[in-house]
Amino acid sequence: MRFSNLFSEVRVGSLTLKNRIIFPPISTNLASIKGEVTPEFVYHYARRAKGGAAIVTLENMCIQYPDARHGATQPRIDSDQFIPGLSRVAYEIHKYNSLAFMELTHPGLFSELEHSEGKIPVAPSDVDLRKDHLHPHVLTEDEINEIVEIFAQSALRAKKALFDGVEIEAAHALLVDQFLSPITNKRTDKFGGSLENRVRFARMIIERIKELCGQNFTVTARLGVIDFVDGGIDIAEGAKIAKAFEEIGYAAVHADVGFGNKEYRLEPMQYKEAWRTNFAEELKKQGVSIPVVAVGMIRSPEVAESIIANRKADLVALGRTLIADPDWPLKAELGKEKEIKKCIGCSECIKARHDEGTAIRCGVNPSVGKLDWSEFLPQAAAKKKVLVVGSGPAGLEAATTLKMRGHEVEVWEKSDRIGGALALAAVPPGKDKLRWLLDYYEYLLKKLDIKLVTNKEADAEEISAFNPDAVILAHGSKCLVPPIKGIDGGNVVTFRKVLRGDVKIEGKKVVVGGGGLVGCETALYLAERGNEVTILEMLPEIARDMETNSKSYLMRELKEKNVQYFTNTPVKEIKKGVVIAGSREFPVDYFVVAFGGISDHSLYDSIRGKYESYIVGDAVKTRKIIDAVREGFEVAKLI
């Protein structure tokens, strides 16, 4: 077996895991508004078990309602009334020979008033760290004992619901972490000061859980071993805390982040794969002997295998990785790693849960958050000859899905390579993970023996000659070129020509017209090549509608690369050597048109009625990868 270390057994507490893969807790907003499980919630976790994860961990369980509520539809474990529903989840996980865990969470200082019915947050000490500057109630010793009991009773309910263990959330700046970190723990009693005192709360929690659930009940921790804030825990102290957790009975620790920008645990695409693994490796070097879990952006079986083989960690947590492809473990074990649809870091899941408070979704997996019927691909009742025009993500998703259902499929691509807008999007700095999705489709085209014709422009006459039963138009959008005076000048190029490499611009003054995502990323691409770049945007904000962490990263990159941007500055005229925008003039050698795309329905209008015809992706309207993949998938199920 190629990944023999990854698929070897390992002991965690009283449990034997069939492999080294954990599906960690990731908030989904799939529970009901009252915190009960829903069919979508049950299926979501069962599906990750079916795909082969050794442990499947339920998200962010609310242990004290509403005081410790943390999210719009957080699942609850604060009352026995939730045991029956949760037992359904455990049953479904066990059906696939996986172990069922749940994460027990208390937000402490960072409880959300809109969800906690206005209850004042609690914390170890009076610190001003909330965005609203609300000061917390400082926990008394009696109140600490009460919360310890709440954790323990929740663990007992988990056991009654047939869960194999619980994970204590002791990272991400939540309550247990708030006791561990000097940033929030300023106490002078037995819960503050020394490391032993700061660990006392976590000790009391596990001791009480063992009293109620038995010594063999397995308890692990998601542990903040480093703070990215001055005065917090460094990795050396994090290793000492991990050792302390081992001594007091925790069966394993996830080497995770404590305090700091959310970006460090909800990483944008640009972060290096598996960058957090060095935290786990440091714990191992410092002598932590219980299993240590590496977390964060582990996407490839080769990387996961290397982590285990080189003893950087004992297990790997694959969160967004298994959201994108729940069958990742099975495919890797069977030597089908090229069929894995890797997480590309598009942050749609993060935007849904953390920015919008909506149900989880995925840019590459259109079935996330839905039931089993969404994934089901019935064989076609009648085999049809289907033409797919365009090989961007919408067309490729449609083509591969159609072929899997038994249709005869041919793909026409007007350029010399697949990818469409996605191929261009992978060019700017830090966007290379988008190539993973194209690599996946490219492999499937060959495996499924789908005919791909490149350098083939589609028109009504060509389509008629092909004589298909059905046509899916996924030919993307055209570059939007607004009626600006001088936009047809010799110093004007489109962003597509720049990113394709048709035009080489180096050491020049460049103005990018349009401050959407494509304009900003083209600006970064140009800045890397020694150009002096300015973005002009007519709206009040650049990079609108981006996920918060990804936008923060982008804005920092623009600043570091000295890219200037001006909002509320519509371009009025482009001349040789100068661009007039708003009330200003900007010196320029090249003007780059990056105002986005515009769809063209003329081909669709010319063939509809003659064939079973569909139009998907940017050909409908310029949007995002998630829209293209979803539409390609859903349309392919209709034919």
The 10s digit of each residue's pLDDT in 148-172 is 999 999 999 999 999 999 999 999 9
pLDDT band at 564 (very low <50, low <70, confident <90, very high): very high
Instruction: Decide: 389 and 473 in contact? Cβ < 8 Å.
Output: yes
- Answer yes or no: is pLDDT of 433 > 90: yes
State the amino acid at position 422 in one-letter form. Answer: L
Mean pLDDT for the stretch of residues 343-363: 96
Residue 235 has pLDDT above 90, yes or no: yes
Q: 612 forms bridges with which residues in the sheet?
A: 470
Mean pLDDT across 605-631: 96
CATH fold label, 492-597 = FAD/NAD(P)-binding domain (3.50.50)
CATH class of 10-372: alpha beta
What is 435-468 written as a DSSP string? HHHHHHHHHHHHHTT-EEE-S----HHHHHHH--
> What does pLDDT average to over the chain?
97
Two domains, one topology: 378-477+599-638 and 492-597: no
**What pairs with residue 451 in β-bridges?**
410
Q: How much is the average pLDDT of 219-225?
A: 98
Confidence label for 71 from pLDDT (cuts 50, 70 and 90)? confident
Query: Which of the listed CATH numbers 3.40.50.720, 3.90.1200.10, 3.40.1160.10, 3.30.413.10 matches domain 378-477+599-638?
Result: 3.40.50.720
Mean pLDDT of 411-432: 97
Q: What's the one-letter identity of residue 455?
A: N
Average pLDDT over residues 387-406: 98
**pLDDT tens sequence across 113-123:** 998 999 999 99
Name the pLDDT band for 72 (thresholds 50, 70, 90).
Answer: confident
Read off the pLDDT band of 70 (50, 70, 90): confident
Structure tokens at 91: 């049953």
490, 577, 558, 496 alpha-carbon torsion, rounded to 10°? 0
Contact 522, 511 (CB under 8 A): no
Query: Torsion-angle region of residue 218: left (phi > 0), alpha (psi -120 to 50) or beta?
Result: beta
For the chain, what are the domain ranges?
10-372, 378-477+599-638, 492-597
E strand or H helix at 90, and its extent?
helix 83-94
Per-residue model confidence (pLDDT) at position 601: 96
Residues 617-627: what's their mean pLDDT? 96
Cα–Cα distance measured from residue 254 to residue 236, given in angstroms and rounded to the nearest whole number: 16
* CB of 377 closer than 8 Å to CB of 51: no
Query: Rounded mean pLDDT of 352-376?
Result: 96
Q: What percent of the chain has pLDDT over 90?
A: 99
Mean of pLDDT values over 359-368: 98
The pLDDT, as a whole number, for residue 1 is 82
Give the tens place of pLDDT for each residue, 240-277.
999 999 999 999 999 999 999 999 999 999 999 999 99
